[in-house]
Structure 1
């Protein structure tokens, strides 16, 4: 079986296994408005951008599992998107997919991609402020491999991994340590509202989670797909409760070429995104885009500490129904349409050595 067929078959199997009889009722998407260009990433080394965070000085970015060693770096850019520093990995990462910044300024790199669902472990790399060598921390799922492209980091130093096709949340019981493999626990599942936003991958693009970010004040988090961003309010620092029980505000990200990255602006008033461009027409340059955020209603709850501890919440099922799997399609027709979307996505992504 070819790699593309394995990706299609595996993702359809995941969706079929998690299908729920009561999918979310479609709600009107916000009026799509193209993002405002901020700056262009030039130089050619950042063409598969899968993760981005904004800093006081500019941005940090990583590529998606690049074959070329010169692209397998942590890139630091200024506010004009010019690369000013790079940090090499001490060993080859498998598939870097997202970035986060902890309260102490540590950069976290999510090495969690697994298109073929064949990895025995996933990993995060931690780069403290001023360091020139990231440290590897391994983790293992409790229920077999998953493909994941989004990650958040809690205030006590625990990553929350969000799987791509089912939006399932996994986190270790304690902060991972170098030289050990931390067991992950399933802590919930996100049910995203329906969407009609135009994107290159159709229905699949509206459900596949490709990135995540935390607001500078820790009171909000956002998940993105290829089509939209979903912003959740965080009460009392409980990120998992926000994602599994909250009602998100939607920001349409229409027709981005292959949008996998999202971050908050440093003032927290906007979302910033950037797309992979490796499979776009020659001369296409990655461009950071800005999207204004809708107003956040005042919350009566106490302020949230920046990315505070994510609580374990069992297997994400229960009488409240707050963490049911969201699927746009139901039944055989839906799975066929999703398979078609996956084929298109597989063609858009270059084959990479895993």
Structure 2
């Protein structure tokens, strides 16, 4: 059974064996502030560094997130479908650090962002890959040189088009590895959860996406739908998130036939709607969410996860 389909079992086990968890973790005792627990080869804990960091209203739907490799703690995010073609930089406290228009791009349905290598240095990759009806086969990837925090507009973005074989896939997760390879994970609300590779070198296209593997036959519940992914800057790890769970894979395992090294229940964080994830080589993870009703802002959460 994959981690994507085991969330309901984890909840049942947690409810039935609280005493055992106290003995195993040594840190979840009555009266303690709850921390997010991770389950893999052994029970581990991700420490919450910052929780419920409110993001400004102009990022009402933070659908994807990526760390800036040049500035400690700074991350980039963007709005969802129909928003301006803009990326926003924030510090770990949620304070704005930059606002940059992506020149030549259109935000039809941006769902994820990554920072990775490209000719001449580092680039920002934006996945215009959302497809709620699963009817559209073609998707678009925008790539532009990573802007400085003080820039107001990027250099002109390149657009690359690709298509799924057969029917389209509703897709929200994108990550870029250290060799510049681009991968997607479809959401899985109406299909199998699958890992896809975008053929490189990138071409204007449209090109045919290559299916790498099936991660799960289908989500076990709506909370298991995949909404974001991000590769660590040293290339060793990939974080994958659903609405309710964080999964950390060794990159070789994810691209091969392996399972997640451990997973973490995110429901105690009470995110309005969990969407984005990024991680650093030291196990720092940032999660972002869309805004909720009743005046709730989009928010970010910072975790420190021990890497096996």
Instruction: Flag whether TM exceeds 0.5 (same fold).
Output: yes
Residue matched to 2:232: 215
2:106 corresponds, among 84, 88, 92, to: 92
Q: Deviations over 1:228-285 (max 9, x none)?
A: 11111134xx7511xx423430122123210001111x452221111100x4212x23
Matched, 1:191 2:204: no
CA distance in 1, matches of 2:67, 2:304: 15
C-alpha displacement of 1:42: 4.2
Q: How does 1:217-232 map to 2 (within 5 A)?
A: 217-232=234-249
Q: How many residues align?
A: 256
2:156 corresponds, among 108, 126, 133, to: 133
Equivalent residues of 1:78, 1:84 under 8 A apart: no
Q: Deviations over 1:175-200 (max 9, x none)?
A: 3223x2121121111139998xxxxx
Residue matched to 2:66: 53
C-alpha displacement of 1:152: 1.6
Q: Deviations over 1:144-177 (max 9, x none)?
A: 2110000122333332110101221121332322
Matched, 1:144 2:162: no
2:302 corresponds, among 290, 306, 311, to: 290
Superposition misfits of 4+ residues, deviation over 6 angstroms: 23-26, 192-195
Structure having the higher strand fraction is 2
Distance 1:83 1:40, change over 3 A: farther
Unaligned runs of 5+ in 1: 1-19, 196-202, 297-354
2:200 corresponds, among 162, 165, 174, to: 174
C-alpha displacement of 1:92: 2.3
Matched, 1:161 2:178: no
C-alpha displacement of 1:24: 6.4
Matched, 1:233 2:246: no
2:222 corresponds, among 179, 199, 204, to: 204
> 2:59 is paired with a residue of what secondary structure?
coil
Q: Deviations over 1:298-339 (max 9, x none)?
A: xxxxxxxxxxxxxxxxxxxxxxxxxxxxxxxxxxxxxxxxxx
Equivalent residues of 2:55, 2:299 under 8 A apart: no
RMSD: 2.9
Equivalent residues of 2:239, 2:249 under 8 A apart: yes
Structure 2 length-normalised TM: 0.73
CA distance in 2, matches of 1:100, 1:125: 11
Equivalent residues of 1:37, 1:287 under 8 A apart: no
Structure 1 length-normalised TM: 0.65
CA distance in 2, matches of 1:193, 1:249: 20
Distance 1:25 1:132, change over 3 A: closer
CA distance in 2, matches of 1:28, 1:183: 37
Distance 1:194 1:210, change over 3 A: closer
> 2:156 is paired with a residue of what secondary structure?
coil
> 2:137 is paired with a residue of what secondary structure?
coil
Q: How does 1:111-130 map to 2 (within 5 A)?
A: 111-130=128-147
Unaligned runs of 5+ in 2: 15-20, 22-33, 37-47, 148-153
2:263 corresponds, among 250, 253, 267, to: 250
